[in-house]
Chains A and B, each alone.
Chain A
């Protein structure tokens, strides 16, 4: 049994709250290496949580797991901090006449058996186009931020508040294929901020309606897969979302929406990870088909290689310092990515490459002419 297989057994226990299946485990396990996989996939919390529930004879050495207890505490503390900041900022925005919806993050953590152990990232708020500028100004003022980082195409801005990165989204996601993008933005426009408030756990958490979230979460996974890569954490989030909400999803509407943005086939391909790897019951996965089972191993290989949002891929860490070399390095990355994504969707591969190469050219032009 490989380190990856041991990791998956523990991860399944961590995300489903079940006992780890230790059948077939080798006599000795390279715990540092298995932990490294969990770290690369930003799944240290559920992984450690599962390790600590192993029977005594299967546990790693005592000093090893005591160190990981410290990490688990830190993850839980960060989650508590995120809850507090979300409560504070939601109230702050609403007092200033801006309704907000919290994207991903703690709203998905709530679906884990132990929400406090889902590794934290940033905090994402969906603001929408109407209040976006005002929200950015308000948060910049509150955070005393001198610099606001605006992401490509003004999709969102990020500001640090109390040492946590807060992303304010003008749009939830953009799609590189114009006609698909138009359809997706039309669906986003239908979101009624006031209608989807709900309270759970300790956070005052307004999030997307289930029907939209089903589409958005996969579109988000797919978007990152097309550009830098995707990690197992996003797959776990998606899997648990479908497990908890599959009965609330209008399947006919979801199918129509997935088809309208060309994602039904990729959805089914990635479904093999949710069902066959992470253990989601087949009947809980909409539109499951074994037709694309062959893609599972390739997706899994890319997940292990790229890690969380592609951050573990060598591409980012190996960026040269020299300007021109850096640009050619990026060009090389996009050509390689084109080949990878084309195996899943030729249309997306082509348009994403054109989109990001066009953006790269714009950046170079601005650098040459001195424009900001």
Chain B
């Protein structure tokens, strides 16, 4: 998977927003706020191929989650980002 071209992460005050700025986001008019963990993941995977396992490893390393727990959170993140969609297969 990868982040769809045109989505940009932007820090405003102490919050992270995803802005849809490309041609593929025409008509996308939502304000998407990421929490610190999601923003951290985004920064790490931006421009790279990834899967739920990649995200789980990032969560384990950064926040010390057990692998299974991290994988659960990672899968939830992937499912939500696919549903928006912010990422694509």
Instruction: Indicate if A52 sits at the interface (CB-CB under 8 A).
Output: yes
Instruction: Indicate if A77 sits at the interface (CB-CB under 8 A).
Output: yes
**Known contacts A66-B31, A69-B31, A70-B31; is A77 also within 8 Å of B20 by CB?**
yes
Distance A72 CA – B27 CA, assembled complex (angstroms): 12
> Is the beta-carbon distance between A76 and B31 smaller than 8 angstroms?
no
Instruction: Indicate if A59 sits at the interface (CB-CB under 8 A).
Output: yes
Distance A69 CA – B20 CA, assembled complex (angstroms): 10
> Is the beta-carbon distance between B10 and A52 smaller than 8 angstroms?
yes
* Shortest distance between the CB of A61 and any CB in chain B (Å): 11
Instruction: Indicate if A74 sits at the interface (CB-CB under 8 A).
Output: yes
Which residues of A have CB within 8 Å of B10?
52
Which residues of A have CB within 8 Å of B6?
80
**Known contacts A52-B10, A52-B12; is A80 also within 8 Å of B31 by CB?**
no
Which residues of B have CB within 8 Å of A255?
none
Distance A77 CA – B7 CA, assembled complex (angstroms): 11
> Is the beta-carbon distance between B26 and A81 smaller than 8 angstroms?
yes
* Shortest distance between the CB of A73 and any CB in chain B (Å): 5
Distance A76 CA – B12 CA, assembled complex (angstroms): 17
> Is the beta-carbon distance between A69 and B22 smaller than 8 angstroms?
no
Instruction: Indicate if B83 sits at the interface (CB-CB under 8 A).
Output: no
Flag B3-20 by CB within 8 Å of A: 1 or 0 each. 000100010111001011
> Is the beta-carbon distance between B25 and A73 smaller than 8 angstroms?
yes
Instruction: Indicate if B35 sits at the interface (CB-CB under 8 A).
Output: no
Instruction: Indicate if B84 sits at the interface (CB-CB under 8 A).
Output: no
Flag A36-67 by CB within 8 Å of B: 1 or 0 each. 00000000000000001001100100000110
Distance A56 CA – B21 CA, assembled complex (angstroms): 24
> Is the beta-carbon distance between B21 and A80 smaller than 8 angstroms?
yes
Which residues of B have CB within 8 Å of A84?
23
Distance A81 CA – B30 CA, assembled complex (angstroms): 19
Distance A52 CA – B23 CA, assembled complex (angstroms): 22
Distance A56 CA – B12 CA, assembled complex (angstroms): 8
With both beta carbons as reference points, the residue of chain B lying nearest to A51 in the complex is identified as B12
* Shortest distance between the CB of A45 and any CB in chain B (Å): 11
> Is the beta-carbon distance between B31 and A116 smaller than 8 angstroms?
no
B13 CB contact (under 8 Å) in A56, A81, A116? A56
Which residues of B have CB within 8 Å of A72?
19
Distance A72 CA – B30 CA, assembled complex (angstroms): 11
> Is the beta-carbon distance between B23 and A73 smaller than 8 angstroms?
no
Instruction: Indicate if B40 sits at the interface (CB-CB under 8 A).
Output: no
* Shortest distance between the CB of B17 and any CB in chain A (Å): 6
Distance A73 CA – B18 CA, assembled complex (angstroms): 10
> Is the beta-carbon distance between B21 and A73 smaller than 8 angstroms?
yes
**Known contacts A72-B19, A116-B21; is A77 also within 8 Å of B12 by CB?**
no
Which residues of B have CB within 8 Å of A66?
31
**Known contacts A69-B31, A77-B28, A80-B6; is A59 also within 8 Å of B13 by CB?**
yes
B29 CB contact (under 8 Å) in A52, A70, A80, A81? A70
**Known contacts A66-B31, A73-B28, A74-B29; is A81 also within 8 Å of B23 by CB?**
yes
Which residues of B have CB within 8 Å of A73?
19-21, 25, 28-29
A-B interface, 10 closest residue pairs, ranked by CB to CB distance from nearest: A76-B21, A56-B13, A80-B23, A66-B31, A52-B12, A77-B26, A80-B22, A73-B19, A70-B29, A69-B31
Q: State the B residues within 8 Å of A (CB).
A: 6, 10, 12-14, 17, 19-23, 25-31
A selection of 11 A-B contacts at a CB cut-off of 8 Å is A52-B10, A56-B14, A70-B30, A70-B31, A77-B21, A77-B23, A77-B28, A80-B25, A80-B26, A81-B26, A84-B23
